Chains A and B, each alone.
Chain A
Amino acid sequence: MKLDTLLQPESLAVVGVSLSNPFNPANVIFHKNNLRYDARTYCVNPRGGTLFGDPVYKSISQVPGKIDCAVLSIRADLVPAAIEECIENEVGGAIIISGGFAETGRTDLQDRVTAVAHEHNFPVIGPNCLGIFSPPAIDTFFLPSERLVTPRKGNVALLSQSGGILVDMMIKLTQEGVGISRTVSIGNKAVIDEIDLLFYLDSDPKTSVIGLYLEGFSEGRGRDFVTFMEQASRPVVLLKAGKTPGGSRAVSSHTASIAGDYPVFREVIRQSGALEAENEAEFVSYCESLSCCNEAAVERVCIITASGGHGAMASDGCFNAGIEVAQIPDDDIQELQPQLSKSVQAIASLNNPIDLTGSAGDNDFFTATRFFLEKDYVDAVILLLLPYLPAISTDIGARIASVAMQYQKPVITYMPHVDRYVMFIEGFESNGLAVAHSVEGAVHMVRAMNRRKS
């Protein structure tokens, strides 16, 4: 099915606006799109009239002009007829925001939607979802803009079976300075599911990383996911919920007992080349690092630190994650030493991890980072920076970013995330470099690029 009309519509009809309740989800969706997004927006209610001066059309057929996308926010039992009306009026596709389908036991209603949509090759997102956030065209989330953080423009696309988790992830990625291309809340996925959207996003020029929150694939669709991954060109980061078995089933075979639903999922996903995050923090880290650099295949790193303890923790993390901490040849140590400031030369330890000590300043970090990015035996640099040290300035991010760009290799930085250091952190993030909240987080980010090679 053609998904362009849903993800990048030129016109939008919001069906189900209320003439009396301004908090009705449909009203929020209508106003938001009417005022802030590019798609030409209409609203529909059988009673007609006007809404803040805009005409309310009595039915889809009365809307003047072609509708690419219809957003249905009406009672579940009215939805199947509304879908038929959309099809009759040659609407491009529909998003069903309404709940009250399979999730509440009304599989009959949902099956009717599925059947009629398939019969007419009509794409439908939902039901029971927030729909699509795809700026600058549309945003069908019924959440008032002033209640949300404004996502940055960027290259991470998100798909989610849960609308709530999706919005949380958008907020968290935004907070990490990660930009978003489009997001889709897929809800009950009666017609279009995550696999269809993965294929779409994998050839979306705005997207270079795809994040997916999933409770489970529908019957047999796991296999289609594996098929998708075989030809996918974008990395896919996945977070799964529902890993624990619901209630104990009496199982009389060893295979069934060991190979429960989640163990099978985990193994097959790992084989497929998708990156499964253990938890939300890891998911955000993976998306952040791959949004900065999704081409690199990192095997060997150089750790540059202002403190021995941080260096040791990062080394341990790399070892556990199967990332090699590169061996530095003696000649290179001899060559680097005189390039550092006098006070640092005497006390720095130049075996990887490179501990420049608390006396080091911007120049020392810049010099060491450039020195190792140039070496073939280093695929990426992990920079452990402590902004409370006196000789480090807020310029450091921009300077490191310039050299990372020059060598086209990733630099992952750790810095403690508190308000006081925001200027340091933004120096990196606004120049396209990932900054982790913890040493462990920095290692996760590198691991995302490490897995990318397989």
Chain B
Amino acid sequence: MSNHLVDSRNVDSRSQAPRFAKLWTPTEVDADEPGLMRVQMGPSHPAMHGTVRMDVILEGETIRDMDVDIGYLHRGFEIQAENATWTQVVPYTDRLNYLSSLCNNVGYVLAVEKLLGIDVTPRCKWIRMISAEIARIADHLTALAAGALELGGFTPMLFGIQAREEFYKVIEHLCGARLTTAYTRIGGLRWDLPDNFEAGYRKAEASLKKNLADMDKMLTRNRIFYDRMADTGIISQEDAIEYGWTGPCLRSTGVEYDVRKAHPYLFYDKVSFDIPLGHKGDNYDRYLVRIAELRESLKIIDQCFKYMEPGPVNVDDWSIVLPPKEAVYNTIEGMIAHFKLIMEGIAVPKGEAYGYTEAANGELGFYMVSAGVGKPWRVHCRAPCFALVQALKPMMLGEQLADIIPTFDTINMIGGEIDR
């Protein structure tokens, strides 16, 4: 297993951040004490991504206490899923992490397939990998671009959004929608790759390479950006693991855990790529890890195009995948299969399973219980952000108010995913 450190700062790569001096405690500071001030950040603060409120108690500009209040975007994903067929849940998963919907689509159907005990076709696996990596690129670009904007860098934001736009065009070409993709199906995909898909992707790839280089030049060695990012929002390896951190944020502390490598799914064991690691777990490391992961995703997609062969994208089983329309209109078997799938849903055998994949922000898990009928008995989404944001309070205690902005951004909280 190969990996590389992303940071070239002149520090001992084994020097770890200290553990939190003060671990998690309930709010105990009295805001009425002289010298203290209570500030409500959000939910409509421009840097709070519109969906979270922070109740901060300040002494000067130092954070004495804070409470992160989530739930402003709660819409009951899990209860909706219990009242829809297994297939009808796929569009709901788009709304979890809306920046990388394809990752959620893939994660959800893989969990259902685990419960069904089926394996999809090779071409389907390659296409799912391509789509998940494209979504990861779009997600990382948004995190980087928004981070630059919130620290006052308008131009790097435009670079990031310009590249992301090209990838949204690719996603639109793939499934007709930019954000609400609903591309995967249980046992396969909505359809095969469209014509000229690779040509469209190459255009986006060129745009990404150019814009990423520009962004890199403007930000990575930028004195102002560096001073805001480096040594702020630090978390140690032990604390990151203790709080259930996964994804780029965990890897920024130097822990080598990536679901794609540790527990490969699809064909991730057949492609070669590196896991970029940070060493200090500060905001700057998280920024560098994301930049490096963009390049790794490009490598993965290149290999997918190289190894992919023509073939069917759906499993040949009409009790799981809808039959072709010719069969529906011309044969009684096709008609019955179509009717049963639409009216009753897929009969997933009784049981429980936890399916997990590496989404853009970390381990996206779906714990599901089936009662043996066409609707799930229970679908629980383990959102990566949920674990990330709960560590925000111990990270920020004793820090400056201004450090909340870059920290909150590099954690990349997504309202749709955390509130479900």
Are A and B interaction partners? no
